[in-house]
Structure 1
Amino acid sequence: MQITDPDGAATVTQPRSRRARRWIWGVVFGIVAVLIAVAVTAVVYLGSLASSYNKAETLPSAEVFPTDVARPTPSNPDALNILLLGSDSREGLGGSVNEIRGQRADTMLLVHIPADRSGVQVISFMRDNWVPIPGYGNGKLNSALAFGGTPLLVQTLEEITDVRIDHVAITDFEGFKGLSEALDGVTVNNSIAFTSGKYSFAQGPIELRGDQALAYVRARYPFTDGDYQRVRNQQAFIKGMLDKLVSRETLTDPGRISASVAALAPFLAVDEGLDAGTVASLGLSLREVDKSEIVFLTSPTLGTGMVGDQSIVQPDWDGLAALSEALRNDSVPQYLAEHPAK
């Protein structure tokens, strides 16, 4: 498959067989780490968890964030925005981050943590949003990664949202099975019955783990609205993961918590500022947050369309402007009340 910018300035070849092999486990790990820090206070045990977390690859800021460009000024320095990115180019994170260039991200989420730590908002950005990509004209949002790596993707998102991204986590899909199995499965409230490969998923509460869970979060083609339902399924899975993580059976089982961190850390890369100390401090600052105050939403769109022979998602620029203002003002709950999901 080729990714070509509308002006013909660049073409990047991507093997079709690798598409959809990676998913955004950064969001799960980030929230896992926060909840672990809140739930566990024994110094020795926190040290053990930090040791596991530090197995994640650390990326220099220059390989993650744009340089020599104007970036949004934080409206409140105490608020945080963390980009969670799933790349289909890394295997066990064994190679250089430069290998991400030429690939695409199937899933992108922005985690917003308000200055007063009153909750957490997780925003999915559809990968096919047709947006301006600096230096390349208009293109699909996830093609920014192919053209300029993580810094260009960060720059693109910052320019369309006018919100500064403080941290980035990139993850490989292969940590998924170990994490889901470390939790002894995850219960998900599945909104639509469907079949993907050899697995069938009934409507209603279902338990997922291992390869079955992989099939659930990757499925796109069984649905008439494609990526829209896949995003909903991914959000439903994360909600199920959170429910399991904050359950008494997990929080009272140090071995299960430790196994969850150890299963994912080798498949995770984070910017150098998102170290174990930062995550632990963030967790402590969120100790009063209830799971009901962790909300999920999708950046506003106007549905699908075509540009040439490409199927795209049309951004709702007015809706995105309202969401951007809410992010800058720490008023996302009010935004959600005024813009209910359709």
Structure 2
Amino acid sequence: MPERPPRRDDARPIPQQGRPDRRRPELDDEDDGVFTVDTRGRRRGSSSRAARPVRTEPSRRREPRERPERVERAGRPVPGDARDGRDPRRAAAGPRPDGRRPVPPSNDRGPRPLEDERPRRRRRWLLLVPVLLLAWVGYLVFAPLHAWGTVTRVDDAPAGDRPAETPGNTYLLVGSDSRDDLTPAERKALGTGTAEGRRTDSIMLVHVPSGGGKSVIISIPRDSYVPIPGHGSNKVNAAYSIGGPQLLVQTLEQVTGLRLDGYLEIGFGGFNDVVNSLGGVDICVPFDMDDEKAHINLKKGCQVLDGKNALGFVRARYSDPRGDIGRADRQRQFLAAIMKGAATPSTVLNPFRYWSFTHTAAGAVGVGQDTSIRDSANILLAMRGAGNDSTLSLTVPIQDTAYQTRAGISVKWDTERAKALFTMLREDQPLEAPPAGTDGKPSGG
């Protein structure tokens, strides 16, 4: 039987005779080196495929570099070498007994939980509230200051000697029936007529005491019969028609003995615009008022009046059984309603309405040359107080409402009571209740 050839995997090559075995050199039993084939000496075009073996140094296994020792700073681990791609917090956590990879602690630089964000947001809102409050207060102050620059100045300086300065402040508030600022269409819509010239529909003295106490608004009926400097005795309304604010101020200073510290005037058009800027005013109509000359037909009861009906309400005299005295009461009621509407949240918290009201009111009034914004604020605050009894609403003491004079039927004052009232104001005596005879009822005949 022929001899079985050796297996390929465990047989050693048989060298050929005459030729050295260059394919696999013999290894020394004591040498564990590694041989490689050197191909650097191969020449181009050489047909020999044999390569001279070159012995190399045995490879050495690279030891892993030691990681720097981790140090705790303020309770936080310092990140190690991140170049190996491992999370240093995982290494800090150490191996787990079950062999599973440890869960890293929460990342301080990552997003915070929702429960941590809520206190922070709450603190932000708490810091934002005072900022918004200051900004709103600033706006409430800025709007009237800006509007004050648009008011019309009126020459109200009286001629001749004036009364001495007195404690407290007394101002003159005038409602004019001038139609000069109204177009023909507006005169027809408001029912003001076409009369030319300037007259007063309302005359009021506003006294603000210096030592506390209530402010006082005193209505002066426009038909009051008084001496007018340089023009004899006549209705007080004639002083305004003859000499405007200057003569009216001079007349009232001489008849009352009070020095007037400021002047404020509003016309028909101003009444209408101011009311409409507030969206109407709440008025309690005391009785049914059907007045053709005032162009109104109002039913008794509390209701919201627009500019046209509010103007008719303060002007109506023929539908009022008390005539001019009743109209003076309604005028004070109307002024209190205006200020109440201006102070409501619907006006103050609405920046557009608040801006509209302040600028409409400023554009509708005329103020004296020496009247300051502080004087105007005193007048407005006194008007507002007329609606909550913090301001006394009075009428100059009257003796007769049908006094026959060369100027026609006039209103005659109760001289003694009127002098007593004006003396109290000159001396700045506090008033907590209306003095006798100031309710508008005639004291005789």
Which TM-score band (shorter chain)?
0.7 to 0.9
Match of 1:103 among 170, 190, 198: 198
Instruction: Provide the C-alpha distance between the structure 2 equivalents of 1:220 and 1:207, rounded to a whole number of angstroms.
Output: 21
Structure 2: state its 5+ residue gaps. 1-134, 183-195
Q: Which residue of 2 aligns with 1:91?
A: 180
Instruction: Provide the C-alpha distance between the structure 2 equivalents of 1:268 and 1:118, rounded to a whole number of angstroms.
Output: 28
Structure 1: state its 5+ residue gaps. 1-39, 94-100
Higher mean C-alpha displacement, 289-298 vs 213-222: 289-298
Instruction: Provide the C-alpha distance between the structure 1 equivalents of 2:204 and 2:238, rounded to a whole number of angstroms.
Output: 15
Is the 1:92–1:267 Cα contact (8 Å) retained in structure 2?
no
Deviation at 1:235, TM superposition (A): 1.7
Is the 2:290–2:298 Cα contact (8 Å) retained in structure 1?
yes
Is the 1:81–1:113 Cα contact (8 Å) retained in structure 2?
yes
Paired residues, number? 289
Which SS does the other structure have where 1:42 is aligned?
helix
Instruction: Provide the C-alpha distance between the structure 1 equivalents of 2:351 and 2:392, rounded to a whole number of angstroms.
Output: 26
Instruction: Provide the C-alpha distance between the structure 2 equivalents of 1:214 and 1:284, rounded to a whole number of angstroms.
Output: 19
Deviation at 1:251, TM superposition (A): 3.4
Q: Using a 3 Å threshold, how does the CA distance of structure 1 residues 337 and 110 change in structure 2: closer, same or farther?
A: closer
CA offsets 1:72-128 (integer angstroms, 9 cap, x no match): 11221xx111111123336349xxxxxxx9632121111111113543211110011
Q: TM-score, normalized by length of structure 2?
A: 0.59
Q: Using a 3 Å threshold, how does the CA distance of structure 1 residues 83 and 41 change in structure 2: closer, same or farther?
A: farther
Is the 2:206–2:217 Cα contact (8 Å) retained in structure 1?
yes
Seq. identity, %: 29
Counterpart residue type for residue 224 of structure 1: P
Alignment of 1:166-245 (within 5 A): 166-197=261-292, 199-245=296-342
Instruction: Provide the C-alpha distance between the structure 2 equivalents of 1:52 and 1:204, rounded to a whole number of angstroms.
Output: 35
Deviation at 1:45, TM superposition (A): 4.2
Q: Specify the structure having the higher radius of gyration (Cα).
A: 2
Instruction: Provide the C-alpha distance between the structure 2 equivalents of 1:223 and 1:107, rounded to a whole number of angstroms.
Output: 16
Which SS does the other structure have where 1:215 is aligned?
helix
Counterpart residue type for residue 217 of structure 2: V
Residue 72 in structure 1 maps to residue 170 in structure 2: no
CA offsets 1:281-331 (integer angstroms, 9 cap, x no match): x59999xx7943122111111122221461111111111101101211233
CA offsets 1:247-281 (integer angstroms, 9 cap, x no match): 3333333332221121222222111322336546x
Instruction: Provide the C-alpha distance between the structure 1 equivalents of 2:375 and 2:418, rounded to a whole number of angstroms.
Output: 30
Is the 2:269–2:364 Cα contact (8 Å) retained in structure 1?
yes
Deviation at 1:337, TM superposition (A): 4.7
Instruction: Provide the C-alpha distance between the structure 1 equivalents of 2:338 and 2:140, rounded to a whole number of angstroms.
Output: 22
Residue 159 in structure 1 maps to residue 254 in structure 2: yes
Q: TM-score, normalized by length of structure 1?
A: 0.75
Is the 1:186–1:241 Cα contact (8 Å) retained in structure 2?
yes
Instruction: Provide the C-alpha distance between the structure 2 equivalents of 1:284 and 1:269, rounded to a whole number of angstroms.
Output: 14
Match of 2:170 among 64, 81, 103: 81
Residue 327 in structure 1 maps to residue 425 in structure 2: yes
Deviation at 1:180, TM superposition (A): 0.9
Deviation at 1:157, TM superposition (A): 0.4
Alignment of 1:26-41 (within 5 A): none
Q: More relative contact order in 1 or in 2 (CA 8 Å, sep 6+)?
A: 1
Deviation at 1:140, TM superposition (A): 0.5
CA offsets 1:191-231 (integer angstroms, 9 cap, x no match): 22221235322223222112111111111111233211211
Counterpart residue type for residue 215 of structure 1: G
Deviation at 1:178, TM superposition (A): 2.1
Deviation at 1:149, TM superposition (A): 2.3
Is the 2:290–2:319 Cα contact (8 Å) retained in structure 1?
yes
Instruction: Provide the C-alpha distance between the structure 2 equivalents of 1:329 and 1:206, rounded to a whole number of angstroms.
Output: 41
Instruction: Provide the C-alpha distance between the structure 2 equivalents of 1:138 and 1:283, rounded to a whole number of angstroms.
Output: 29
Is the 1:154–1:165 Cα contact (8 Å) retained in structure 2?
yes
